[in-house]
Amino acid sequence: MTHYLFLIIGAILLTGCAKGSSPATSSAAPKEVQAVPVFSADSAYKAVERQLEFGPRVPGSEAQEACALWLHQELERYGAKVVEQRATVTAYDGTRYPCINLVGSYNPEAKHRILLMAHWDSRPIADEDPDPAKRNEPIPAANDGASGVGVLLEIARQASLQSPRAGIDIFLTDAEDLGAPSSWEGPHNEEAWGLGTQQWCQNPHVSGYTATYGILLDMVGSPNASFYREYYSDYYANDVVSLVWKTAAKLGYKHLFVDKTGARITDDHVFVNRSLGIPTIDIIDTRVGGNGSFFPYWHTTEDTLDKISKETLQKVGDVIMHLIY
How far is 302 from 304, CA to CA, in rounded Å?
Answer: 5
Q: What is the pLDDT of residues 283-297, one digit of tens each?
A: 999 986 534 689 999
**Domain annotation covers residue 167:** yes
* CA pair distance 264, 3, nearest whole angstrom: 10
Q: What is the pLDDT of residues 58-114, one digit of tens each?
A: 999 999 999 999 999 999 999 999 999 999 999 999 999 999 999 999 999 999 999
Q: How many percent of the chain have pLDDT more than 90?
A: 85
> Quick check: is 185 in a domain?
no
* Residue 220 · residue 316 · CB < 8 Å: yes
Domain with 285 in it? 5-180+190-324
Q: Which residues 6+ apart lie within 8 Å of 10 measured at CB?
A: none
> Residue 309 has what DSSP assignment?
-
For residue 206, being part of any structural domain is answered with yes
Q: What is the pTM of this model?
A: 0.90
Give the number of domains in the chain.
1
29 within domain boundaries: yes
Closest C-alpha to 305, from 139, 173, 64, 124: 139
Identify the CATH number of the domain in which residue 50 sits. 3.40.630.10
- Report CA torsion sign: 239, 243, 245, 250: positive
Please give the pLDDT value at position 289: 59
303 within some domain: yes
117 belongs to a structural domain = yes
Residue 68, in any domain of the structure: yes
